[in-house]
Amino acid sequence: MSTKNKVIIIDYGAQYTQLIARRVREAGVYSEIMPYTASLESIKAAEPSALILSGGPDDVGEHGAPTLAPGLLEMGLPVLGICYGMQLLAHHLGGALTKAENREYGPAVLRFLQDSPLWKGITKAECTVWMSHGNHVSKAPSGFKVLAGTSTLAIAAMADEQRKIYAVQFHPEVGHTENGTDILHNFLFTIAGLTPDWTMSSFVEDCLARCRELVGDKNVVLGLSGGVDSTVVAALLHRAIGKQLHCIFVDHGLMRKNEGRQVKATLEKYLPGLNLHYINAQELFLGKLAGVDDPEQKRKIIGATFIEVFEKEARSIRDVSFLGQGTVYPDVIESCTPKGTVIKSHHNVGGLPEKMHLQLIEPVRELFKDEVRKVAQELGLPDEMIWRHPFPGPGLAVRLLGPVSEDRLDILREADAIVQEELHASGWYRKVWQGFAVLLPLKTVGVMGDNRTYEHVVALRIVNSVDAMTADWTPLPYDILGTISRRIINEVKGINRVVYDISSKPPSTIEWE
């Protein structure tokens, strides 16, 4: 992204790192996350205007713990260290750390001890902040002054204001911290002197110019699913290069009720003139999935088959040099975390065969999901596209636990259609991040009329989230849950029990497989 103001967030493994990036962007300043393993050369190449060092789960100074990239502070940029970032600065610059007997997690009362640009506009003498740490700074480095403390921490914030290096032990990015937004804004605008030039209109203008320049007179193929990410990519590229874009919609037979037909009709209505190649490959996908119940194996089969079908269609198009993808920033973060393990295969990031010999073009790779939706609004796309709930690339195959078959898919489609209808009817569809049904690989005893039944169980998964990095289960009103359950059991043959999933991410994932 070409912008004069950019904040690089060095990720030390904190659960809140993505939230820091979002808060900075919400302030109108573009931000990127880079792992603590990034070289000084790569950080410099990103041309940052300021640096933020995130929190993290490790103990500073212990063997193998993440440290500062050599020369990072010599760049002369404004720096804000948060939690682990503060401890890292103290350790690196000659301060002292003390290991706490008990980890401090939760609210604390912060007392402001000295005036500072970091506290600009905050008139109270103290405020509630959110702590999450084991170690703490017991001696500030030379040249630093102590800005704030708590009842248990003598040094909860410190600064070398001449060098514009600031550090706080608490988390200003979380909603639990009073004046947290003010503190971040003070760092960005008062201390670092940045200008809020990151807007969706500026992104669209810049993106269209970059796409035109990159593509030239070549053709682009794009796998289009009907979800907001790939639809926004299609709209951007359609506006940028017109008929040079070829969208390939592969109907793998794993979509929701009537979804393939609806997606096709909506695209033709709102993106007139779009080159849309509709491929019905239901029999091929279901044949390859027959008898497979391992979730990761399902994903791999679906991914490989999709590429097989997609490649075949793409080869029929002349002068194709680029492959468009709806990759978004959370995909990139989850797939490239510095210390993470693979939770599940992403259908957007990696895994494309090198034999395609196509250059990737990923216009929304830099954006969080809510930013993608803002771009969709900027492009004039309808609400039915913008607010469509996220749907996994493998489709209902990962919401149907156990082997995939047409009869089980039909049962799940009917149950899920009721979930969607009732969320819309009650006004809750726009209030939640995702809501869907999951067909479980078990049957339970029930009674219908005077007869004993032994039929399937459906779980309802309805969650709140901002970008799918974390999610909480939704406390949907009982009357709505009751209506959904009653309708599914009465109207969907083969189901006699409905349960509600009340687990959050983490430790659970949003999808069941």
Query: For the segment 473-496, what is each residue's pLDDT rounded down to a tens digit?
Result: 999 999 999 999 999 999 999 999
Tell me the C-alpha distance between 84 and 135, whole Å: 8
β-strand pairing of 96-112 with 219-223: unpaired
Handedness of CA 36, 41, 45, 51 (dihedral sign): positive
**Averaged pLDDT, 184-196:** 97
pLDDT reading at 341 higher than 50: no
Whether 391 contacts 225, CB under 8 Å: yes
pLDDT reading at 342 higher than 60: no
Whether 227 contacts 236, CB under 8 Å: no
Structure tokens at 274: 């779009």
Mean pLDDT value across the chain: 89
Helical pair 228-241 and 200-215, crossing angle rounded to 10 deg: 60
**Averaged pLDDT, 457-479:** 91
So what's the pLDDT on residue 1?
55
Least confident of 45-54, 241-250, 306-315, 323-332: 323-332
Q: Which helix (H) or strand (E) holds 463?
A: strand 451-464
Residue identified by tokens 């248990």 is 152
pLDDT reading at 174 higher than 80: yes
Query: Torsions phi, psi of 387, nearest 5?
Result: -105, 15
Distant-in-sequence contacts of 206-212, Cβ < 8 A, 24+ apart: 206/1, 206/2, 207/236, 207/240, 207/363, 208/236, 208/239, 208/240, 210/2, 210/363, 211/236, 211/237, 211/240, 211/241, 211/361, 211/363, 212/240, 212/241
Q: Which helix (H) or strand (E) holds 145?
A: strand 145-149
Q: How many CB atoms lie within 10 A of CB 22?
A: 20
Query: For the segment 93-124, what is each residue's pLDDT rounded down to a tens digit?
Result: 999 998 776 666 788 999 999 999 999 999 99
Tell me the C-alpha distance between 418 and 408, whole Å: 16
Strands (E), 243-401: 245-251, 275-280, 320-324, 359-361
Q: How many CB atoms lie within 10 A of CB 272?
A: 8
Most confident of 291-305, 361-375, 419-433: 419-433
pTM comes to: 0.77
Secondary structure string (H, E, C) spanning 203-266: HHHHHHHHHHHHHCCCEEEEECCCCHHHHHHHHHHHHHHHHHEEEEEEECCCCCCCHHHHHHHH
- Residues labelled catalytic: 83, 171, 173
Residue identified by tokens 């809501």 is 435
Structure tokens at 330: 């959370």
Residue type, 8: I
Higher pLDDT, residue 356 or 133: 133
So what's the pLDDT on residue 332?
75
So what's the pLDDT on residue 355?
56
Q: Is 359 helix (H, G, I), strand (E, B) or coil?
A: strand
- Would you call the peptide bond into 48 cis, given omega within 30 degrees of 0 as the criterion? no
Query: Torsions phi, psi of 459, nearest 5?
Result: -105, 140
Share of the chain above pLDDT 90, in %: 68
